[in-house]
C-alpha cells in the first residue's frame, strides 16, 4: 500500500513532453496522408480525451458523446494544425469548445426535464400544444429563412456557428435569424391561445 501511495505523485506529475512530440509528429505525418499514423494518433487521443473529460467533468453519461465530438472536430480541423506550433494547445482549444457545447446541451436537457416549457420545447416536440396547433404547423407559418434557422439550431442541434456555415452567412446573422424566428413563434403561439 505504501509503495502504491509513493508512486501516485509520479503518475500525477506525468511529463507530457513525450506525448507532445509524438502527437505532433503523428499529426504532421497524417497531414501528409499517412493513414496508419493518423489512426494511431486518434487512438491515443481517444483515451486521453476520455480520461481528461472524466477528470474535469465527472462521470456523466454525455462524456462519451463529447469525446467522440472532440475526435470528429480534430478530424475536421486537422488541416488547421500548424507544425511550427505546439500540438497540445491546439488540441485543448478543441476540447474546451466541444466540452462547453456538451455542457450547454446537457443544461438545456436538464432544464427541459425540470418541467420548464418554452417555445423551444414546442419546436422539439417535447410538450403538447394546448391550442391544438402542431409544432409543424407553427414552423411552417414562418418565413423560409426563419424556418431553416429553427430547423438547424433547435431541431437538428447545430450551434449557430455550424448553422451559419451551412447557410454561408455570418454567425451574427444566424443569431439574429434564430432570435427573430423564436419571437415569431411566440407571437403565433400567443395568437393561437386567444
Question: Where does residue 189 rank: exposed (0-12), middle (13-18), buried (19+ CB within 10 A)?
Answer: middle
Distance of CA 39 to the CA centre of its chain: 22
- In this model, does residue 91 exceed pLDDT 90? yes
- Note whether residue 5 is domain-resident: no
Same structural domain, 99 and 144: no
Same structural domain, 35 and 92: yes
Q: Indicate which CATH number applies to the domain containing 129.
A: 1.10.10.10
- Note whether residue 153 is domain-resident: yes
Is residue 4 very low, low, confident or very high in pLDDT (cuts 50, 70, 90)?
very low
Same structural domain, 129 and 184: yes
Q: Which of 114-118, 125-129, 166-170, 189-193 has the highest mean pLDDT?
A: 166-170
Q: How many domains are contained in the chain? A: 2
Q: Which of 112, 128, 157 marks a domain boundary?
A: 112
Q: Which of 86, 112, 138 marks a domain boundary?
A: 112
Q: Which of 69, 85, 112 marks a domain boundary?
A: 112
Q: What is the pLDDT of residues 143-189, one digit of tens each?
A: 999 988 888 887 777 889 988 998 999 999 999 999 998 888 888 87
CA distance readout (Å), 177 to 43, 64, 156, 165, 183:
39, 32, 16, 14, 10
C-beta atoms surrounding 173 within 10 Å = 14
Is residue 88 very low, low, confident or very high in pLDDT (cuts 50, 70, 90)?
very high
pLDDT value, residue 76: 92
Distance CA 91, CA 72 (A): 12
Low-confidence winner among 48-52, 138-142, 177-181 (lowest mean pLDDT): 138-142
Model confidence pTM above 0.85: no
Domain carrying residue 86? 19-112
Same structural domain, 108 and 179: no
CA R_g for the chain: 22
- In this model, does residue 1 exceed pLDDT 50? no
Low-confidence winner among 4-13, 59-68, 89-98, 110-119 (lowest mean pLDDT): 4-13
In the structure grid, which three cell numbers stand for residue 28, read together?
504532421
Phi, psi of 188 (to 5 degrees): -65, -40
More confident residue, 5 or 108: 108
Distance CA 40, CA 79 (A): 17
DSSP assignment of 97-137 equals: HHHHHHHHHHHHHHHHHTT---HHHHHHT-S--TTS--HHH
Q: Are 130 and 193 in contact (CB under 8 A)?
A: yes
C-beta atoms surrounding 136 within 10 Å = 10
Amino acid at each position: 500500500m505504501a509503495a502504491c501511495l509513493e508512486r501516485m505523485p509520479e503518475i500525477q506529475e506525468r511529463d507530457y513532453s513525450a506525448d507532445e512530440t509524438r502527437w505532433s509528429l503523428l499529426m504532421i505525418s497524417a497531414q501528409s496522408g499517412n493513414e496508419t499514423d493518423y489512426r494511431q494518433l486518434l487512438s491515443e487521443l481517444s483515451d486521453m480525451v476520455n480520461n481528461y473529460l472524466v477528470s474535469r467533468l465527472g462521470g456523466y453519461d454525455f462524456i462519451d458523446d463529447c469525446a467522440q465530438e472532440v475526435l470528429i472536430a480534430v478530424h475536421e480541423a486537422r488541416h488547421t494544425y500548424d507544425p511550427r506550433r505546439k500540438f497540445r494547445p491546439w488540441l485543448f482549444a478543441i476540447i474546451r469548445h466541444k466540452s462547453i457545447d456538451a455542457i450547454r446541451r446537457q443544461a438545456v436537457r436538464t432544464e427541459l426535464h425540470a418541467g420548464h416549457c418554452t417555445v423551444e420545447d414546442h419546436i422539439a416536440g417535447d410538450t403538447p400544444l394546448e391550442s391544438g396547433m402542431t409544432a409543424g404547423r407553427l414552423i411552417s407559418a414562418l418565413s423560409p429563412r426563419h424556418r431553416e434557422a429553427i430547423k438547424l439550431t433547435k431541431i437538428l442541434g447545430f450551434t449557430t456557428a455550424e448553422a451559419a456555415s451551412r447557410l454561408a452567412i455570418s454567425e451574427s446573422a444566424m443569431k439574429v435569424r434564430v432570435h427573430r424566428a423564436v419571437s415569431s413563434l411566440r407571437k403565433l403561439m400567443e395568437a393561437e391561445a386567444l
